[in-house]
Amino acid sequence: MHLLVKGIQHQLTGEVLVPNSKYHAHRALILASLAEGVSRVHGLSDARHVQYTVQLLRGLGVKITTEGDTFVVHGLGGRYRPRRAAVSAGSSGTTLYFMIGLASLSDRDVAVTGQKYFRRRPVGPLLTALRQMGVGVESADDCPPVHVTARRPSGGHVRIAGTLSQWISGLILLAPFATGHTTIEVEGELNERSYLELTVAMMRQFGLAVTVSEDWRRFDVEPGQSAVATELTLPPDIGSAAFGIAAAALHPSDVLLKGMTRLEGGPADHPEFHFLDIARAMGVPMELDEAAGGVRIRQETPMLKGVEVDCRDVPDMLPILSTLGSFAYGESVFHNIAHTRLKESDRAAAMLQLNAMGGDLELDGDALRVRGVEGLVGAKLSSFNDHRVLMSLAVASSRARGHSTLTYPNAYRISYPTFLDAMNTLGVPMSVEDGPAPSGRPRQRRLEKEVAKPDLAARVTLPEWLRRRAASRPHDVAVVDVRAGRDETVTWRELHERVERAASLLLGLGVRPGDNVAYQLPNRVEFVVLSLAALRIGAVCCPVIPFFRERELGFVLRRSRAKVLVVADRYRNRRPAEEVMGLDAEERGELARLVVLAEEGGSAALPEADGSGVTVHDWEKALAGTEVDRAALDAYVPSPDATAQLLFTSGTTGEPKGVTQPSRNLVRAVSMEIRHLGLHAGDAIWVPSPLAHQTGFLYGMTLALVLGVPQITQAEWDAKRALASLNTHGASFVQAATPFLTDLVKAVEEGGDMPRKLRIFVATGAQVPRGLAERAGRVLGADVCGAFGTTETCLGALSAPGDEPAQRWGSDGRPLDGIELRITDDQGHVLPAGVEGNFELRSPTVFDGYLDRPDLTAEVFTEDGWYRTGDLATLDASGYLRITGRVKDVINRGGEKIPVAEIEQLLFAHPAVEDIAVVAMPDARLGERACAFVVCKEGERLGFGEMRAYLDEHQVAKQYWPERLEPLGVLPRNPIGKVQKFALRERARELRPQED
């Protein structure tokens, strides 16, 4: 992906709202967390760096909520209560530097870490200073993660280089909470003084006293202070406004920067306020427009002139000042730049890329010299994942001839999430794109406003989502059907046309709103067409797992009372159409029409139907003979509240039950996931799970439809073909059962190409074995996220790429927004964190009920309306869920419950084990014992004695050891990958314990 910027020559017009100061936000939130009582910080900052501070503070036990545009912080009075052993600063240097020392004010040891690439950020000088202050900090390489001992600092005389103000601010913020007096002395050159002035000013707002020397090189702080809760308003962010100012300065313009009400000020107003003085000195015509509530820049012919600047005063402004200097008359010299080369990137060197565009920049010792030029030309540029470099080069590119592209196109979100919107609003075309440098219109889009807002999304039905895409971008790819020997690509317009024709066909077959339309198809484009066609006329989708045979299919037909069934003429070595006609009249229920698709297109092989009362149709011929009756179709307007889906559970524990879900639940569920994971319009969804199961139907097909991106379906599972299709079609997201993940990892390890764009794999069906998750992250280059969901509830819990690894794939996730989870005992009492019990949830996506079975529906709900999942689980203090087993899978060995999931995880890590399941084995004396069914890797074996020795080596209590080991070639699983433990329990019924 890259950021595409098109050079322009027209006038910039319009107004943009300047966001609130992220610098004030960081400090205010941290100080409020240390105060006793509730503080209110008005003026939300949506900068991702600030969100990292919020998330880290929440991880330390601080309650932070939002009310309108206000942060409400419930301070802990200088004592944090970490919810977990590690907290992350994400990719925010400010969060990291401020919070390493402050983490010592916790009631238990904690590690402070960051995102993967951020773990190379050196913090050695800060760690040395913190140790001088009496803080216990340890790091293997003077980079995150940093392990912090829970004890208050002792204070003392601390010396630190003046290289980065954030290091010094981190020490000053901590000093009032030390047990002794603290003196902080700055050695060498002092940079970024304005940021220190802001830190001290804000500390004083919260009642903390700091004595500062006149030259700001010595800070004396008395011990044992208490912060006072306060209320304050964040000022506008000059650092963000700078990019709007620069854009307006480079072009003819009439631009209003709304929210800026001052052109004079100092560090307490904003540490980068001096940028406004420099911009005016360069000739930017800024004036206050009090009536409009902002600063206006109005000019016909840009005229800038060179300046000399001491970058110690405006350390983060070097990139954008370099851009302005490139279009200024004469030479601009930026002095004292050494510390700017220690930021997110070497910013001085990064801006030398302007030379590749025709600029004239030169590094001269500790200075950067920029000589103005007549103009620039577009080029391929690198942002080095530095938000300031990205935005500065993008603004420069707006004045260049032609197009420019920049790497790490989303880096701007770190500090200025609305940058792209602001530039486009003013008339500077910028967009995020996939693929190589552009030769045509941008392909990347912004999501519609409803997509990631569940309440709004739920009001839009799937046929309406389809209609919108067919109208707004008819030629974009909607579906890719991957089959042996060929891939079929279908655009949004083509999909819409096929759906309209299929919907007319269904009407002609007698289907009406509320009718159940049954279809048993593999993952192919016709499944998508048929689903949307049924919904288009208000009918109900009733997909049947392709693996189901006559017995299960007859059950579905009887229960659903479907009058129409669509099947393929062939599926693997079976003849589904013939199987249907082989059912007796009672088993077929009310079936009147059988529609048959050819396995490979063309005419289908039709079964005999004489005397059955069932009319058989060829899919292609029936469609060809159908005229689209627009008036008849438009007479039916599906409702978000109407039943859209009837799915029969896979029956791993008993008779399948028909689960009914309204349209609003399905769309809401995927919108919740889009928001939770940050999925975007550049994604492509790969769908290996059966579309006839909730995972594939909802988090494959429906997700792609609502997100408006391609879905890549694959009818026959083949890991090597899957790898090829992942790369050919740029798949970036998949949600599927653990066996699919296992096979992909194995295929890459055996020489297959690593998926180039895959970034998220949500593993469902069972907790991902730790060893597999670690391998998958390394081998596939994707984040493996644990999740919990059911057909009845949709997803209830889900981790996310930003979560700590052990929580991301070592748990079953955390609740999505709007969902509540709880663990209860058998009497219904809610259990505390970490205690195993019955897992229950409450969600706006819980199903309407089981078809014609109000008795079964009533059984799965508690008196107060919570859904009983039938699982055993724990919830930790941070809200992460861990499924420990099914209630029916519990092994009770003489009154001792065996932790089945834990034993399975441990045995899975054995080098000889490919797959593992532990189930109960009846025993006359103890009631039950554990039996391990093991699938060994090719060429490997695991004996009973070896298994026991392995468990002994890992110090597992002997009562938990499986007392029999049964080798298998493969574990029995249902079509979506869940182990059928009822089948294994049946096999174990005749088995007896082994002896060494």
Asked if residue 343 belongs to a known ligand binding site, the reply is: yes
Rounded CA-CA distance 838/856 in Å is 18
Rounded CA-CA distance 911/622 in Å is 55
- The strand order across the sheet containing 86-88 reads 86-88, 110-113, 146-148, 137-138
Q: Are 103 and 60 in contact (CB under 8 A)?
A: yes
Q: Nearest Cα to 607, choosing from 552, 615, 545, 554? A: 615
447: alpha, beta or left? (left if phi > 0; alpha if psi -120 to 50): beta
Q: Nearest Cα to 202, choosing from 232, 222, 225? A: 232
Rounded CA-CA distance 443/451 in Å is 18
Rounded CA-CA distance 271/216 in Å is 15
Dihedral through CA 154, CA 158, CA 161, CA 167, nearest 10? 20
Q: Are 80 and 107 in contact (CB under 8 A)?
A: yes
769: alpha, beta or left? (left if phi > 0; alpha if psi -120 to 50): beta
Q: What are phi and psi of 883, to 5 degrees?
A: -75, 125
3-class state of residue 301 by DSSP: coil
**Side chain identity at 517, as an amino acid letter?**
V
Rounded CA-CA distance 460/706 in Å is 9
264 burial via Cβ count (<10 Å: 0-12, 13-18, 19+): exposed
Asked if residue 120 belongs to a known ligand binding site, the reply is: no
Q: What are phi and psi of 923, to 5 degrees?
A: -145, 130
Asked if residue 165 belongs to a known ligand binding site, the reply is: yes
Asked if residue 808 belongs to a known ligand binding site, the reply is: no
Q: Are 52 and 15 in contact (CB under 8 A)?
A: no
Asked if residue 388 belongs to a known ligand binding site, the reply is: yes
Rounded CA-CA distance 911/274 in Å is 62
Helices 48-59 and 93-102: angle between axes, nearest 10 degrees: 20
Rounded CA-CA distance 623/505 in Å is 6
Angle, CA 326 vertex, CA 356 and CA 324 arms, to 5°? 130
Residues 6 or more apart whose Cβ sits within 8 Å of residue 52: 88, 89, 90, 91, 92, 95
Active-site residues, by number, are 316
Asked if residue 93 belongs to a known ligand binding site, the reply is: yes
Dihedral through CA 804, CA 805, CA 811, CA 816, nearest 10? 50
Rounded CA-CA distance 696/774 in Å is 25
Rounded CA-CA distance 159/354 in Å is 39
Rounded CA-CA distance 720/670 in Å is 28
Q: Nearest Cα to 358, choosing from 396, 301, 306, 311? A: 396
Which residues partner with 617 through β-bridges?
595
**How remote is the C-alpha of 26 from its chain's centroid?**
23
Report strand pairing: 711-714 vs 477-483.
parallel
Rounded CA-CA distance 573/282 in Å is 77
Binding site, annotated residues: 22, 27, 93, 121, 165-166, 316, 343, 347, 388
Binding site, annotated residues for 3-phosphoshikimate: 22, 27, 165-166, 316, 343
Binding site, annotated residues for phosphoenolpyruvate: 22, 93, 121, 166, 347, 388
